[in-house]
Amino acid sequence: MTRPPDHGGLSPTNPRGQTGWIEVISGSMFSGKTEELIRRLRRAQIARQSVAIFKPRLEDRYSESDIVSHSQLRIPSTPVGSPDEILQHADEADVIGIDEAQFFQQEIVDVARELANRGKRVVVAGLDKDFRGEPFGAMPELMAEAEYVTKTLAICMQCGEPANFTQRLTSDERRILIGETDLYEARCRRCYEPPVEKGNHFKDPT
């Protein structure tokens, strides 16, 4: 992987030569990803660091421009149509928060890397797997690029064990469905049932 020539040194985009890094917070739905993102960003704000927060424009549930967790924590954010827009808006910030990163195009990886190379702390939250149990969007690459990865677990809504899967409760096959609480459940590995069209080849057919 080639690095921009300014990586780690003094340059117009990183005048103080600080070291940036990437943190990824990832897990199933109902695992508290957004709460954890908001907690980290608030603490940066309390330390009087300048914080900028972005989310994909399609994600408009609850609030047009705030990031809101299920527990109603909220923080103002800028909806953007593409990862490039984050670069255009992030110059003044020390800390960049990105929510629902699984919905961004693959370029989100280059954008996160570029921001970290400019000396910024980048905190990314997103779903690690879609409802089929497959890696979601650019999350695998973001986790590979990150210095710190936090996997958040929900509690299985069937049995109470740690839950790492998102079960869709409807047969709608579109990948993105907004309006979650009645359409999805957090499930553990044992209770999770993959969609039938793909099947689980390793499960006992009985």
Q: Which residues are catalytic?
A: 100
The answer to whether residues 25 and 37 touch, using CB atoms and an 8 Å cutoff, is: yes
Of the ranges 81-89, 100-108, 130-138, 161-169, which one interacts with Zn ion (CB under 5 A)?
Answer: 161-169
Q: Does 176 contact Zn ion by CB under 5 A?
A: no
Least distance in angstroms from the C-beta of 161 to Zn ion: 5
Q: Report how far residue 75's alpha carbon sits from residue 53's, in angstroms, rounded to the nearest whole number.
A: 8
- Residues in contact with Zn ion, total (CB under 5 A)? 6
Among 146, 156, 164, 166, binds Zn ion (CB under 5 A): 156
Q: Residue 125: name the closest of 57, 64, 36, 186 by CA.
A: 36
Q: Quick one: 43 or 189, whose CB is closer to Zn ion? A: 189
What is the length of the chain? Answer: 206
Q: Does 188 contact Zn ion by CB under 5 A?
A: yes
Q: Does 153 contact Zn ion by CB under 5 A?
A: no
CA distances, 148 to each of 24, 26, 111, 124 (Å): 6, 11, 17, 10
Q: Report how far residue 96's alpha carbon sits from residue 140's, in angstroms, rounded to the nearest whole number.
A: 19
| Interacting residue ranges for Zn ion, rule: CB under 5 A | 156, 158-159, 161, 188, 191
